Amino acid sequence: MGELTQSELYSPRTQPVWRTLLSWLSFFFQIFIQMLRALGHYPLLSFSSSSSSSSSSSNSFKPLPVVELQEHDSAVEITGADSVADDSIRKLKVVLDLDETLVCAYETSTLPAVVRTQATEAGLQCFELECLSSDKEGDGTPKVNYVTVFERPGLEEFLKQLSEFADLVLFTAGLEGYARPLVDRIDVENRFSLRLYRPSTISTEYREHVKDLSCLSEDLCRIVIVDNNPFSFLLQPLNGIPCIPFSAGQPHDTQLLDVLLPLLKHLSHQKDVRPVLYDRFHMPEWFRKQGIPTSI
C-alpha cells in the first residue's frame, strides 16, 4: 500500500467531520462558561445555610428565653413592686404543692412496666413506697398501698437552693398516710418548716381542697404558692404560681431549676410579690373566665 499524501489527509471529505466536531466543542464550551457565571451568584450551601439564612431570619424570629426575668442585682422596673435590700424585708415564704408539682406517683400494681423502664432509662429518679390508705382491711386495720414515685428532675437541688433564701412549707391535698412517708423520702434534710395535708384545706362553693394562705400569714406581701392546680389558690389568686403538671412521661422536664427557681429568686427581692405575679400570670382574669369571681 502506498503512503497517503498530505493532500489526501486533508481532503474535502474529511473537512465536514472536523467542522462538526469543532461546532460541538464550541457549543459545550459556551454552556460551561454560562454555568460558571451562574455559580458566581450562589454561595456554597455549607456556608449560606448557616450564615446568610441565620442573619436574615434573626430580624423576623428570635426565640424567647425560658425565663424573662433579670437578675436581682440589675435594675428591675415593675410597677408597684420595688426591689429592696435583703436585710429590710422578711424571708419569703414559699408554699409548695406535692403531687404533679414536685413528684408524680402511681399505684405500683397499675403502672405498666414499660412506663417505668422508659422513665428510669431516660434518667428519672424513682422509688417504691408503702403508705397507709383511708380504706380498711377486713379486720379493721388500715389498708397498705404500694406506690411508685418519680421525682421531678432537679428536685433535690431545687429544694436545697430554695431553702437558702426562702421559708419552705409543704401544702398538699393528699392524705397524711400517703404524703408523710413520701415527703420523708424527698426531704431528708428537713427543709420544710411545716407540712400541711388534706385536713388543712377548705371547701368553697366553687372547689374543694382549696389552700387558704391566710392560715399561714396575715400579710400576703411575702408569701407565694406553687401548684399545678390553680384552683388550689383561688382565694389568693395574686399569690399563686401555676406550674406545668409533671408526669413520668416527662423525663427531660426543666421547670424546677430553669423556670421556678429563677422566678422565686426574683420574688425574694420584692417588697410585695403580688404585682409581679399579676403582671406575669393575670390569674384574677383567668379565674373569671372559669366562672369564679374575684375581689381583685
Q: Which residues contact 44 (CB under 8 A, 6 or more apart)?
A: none
Q: Is the pLDDT confidence value at 106 over 50?
A: yes
**Residue 87 pLDDT level (bands cut at 50, 70, 90):** low
pLDDT given for residue 5 in this prediction: 45
Please state, for a pLDDT cut of 70, what percent of the chain lies above it.
Answer: 70
List the beta bridge partners of residue 195.
170
pLDDT given for residue 143 in this prediction: 86
Please give the order of strands across the beta sheet that includes 192-196.
Answer: 192-196, 166-171, 92-96, 223-227, 240-242
Active site residues: 97, 99
pLDDT given for residue 140 in this prediction: 77
What is the rounded average pLDDT for all residues in the chain?
80
Q: Is the pLDDT confidence value at 10 over 50?
A: no
pTM score over 0.85 = no
- Report which of 177, 106, 105 is spatially closest to residue 135, judged by C-alpha positions: 177
More confident residue, 225 or 69: 225
User: Which amino acid is located at 52 in the chain?
Assistant: S
pLDDT given for residue 65 in this prediction: 36
Determine the 3-state secondary structure of 142 from DSSP: strand
Q: Grid coordinates representing 238?
A: 395574686
Q: Work out the angle at residue 68's Cα, subtended by the Cα atoms of residues 79 and 288, and round it to the nearest 5 degrees.
A: 60
Distances in Å between the alpha carbon of 236 and those of 10, 219, 221? 106, 12, 11
Transcribe 188-253 into DSSP letters. TT--EEEEE-GGG-B--SS-SSB--GGGT-S-GGGEEEEES-GGGGTTSGGGEEE-----TT-TT-
Q: Work out the angle at residue 286's Cα, subtended by the Cα atoms of residues 285 and 288, and round it to the nearest 5 degrees.
A: 65
Q: Which CATH class is domain 86-102+152-289?
A: alpha beta
Domain limits, the chain = 86-102+152-289
Q: Grid coordinates representing 277?
A: 405575679
pLDDT given for residue 47 in this prediction: 27
Q: Please give the Cα distance from 247 to 141 (Å, whole number).
A: 31
Residue length, the chain? 296
List the beta bridge partners of residue 131.
145
**Residue 21 pLDDT level (bands cut at 50, 70, 90):** low
Q: Is the pLDDT confidence value at 161 over 70?
A: yes
Q: Please give the Cα distance from 268 to 69 (Å, whole number).
A: 13
Continuous segment of H or E residues that includes residue 151? strand 142-151
Specify whether the CB–CB gap between 243 and 99 falls below 8 A: no
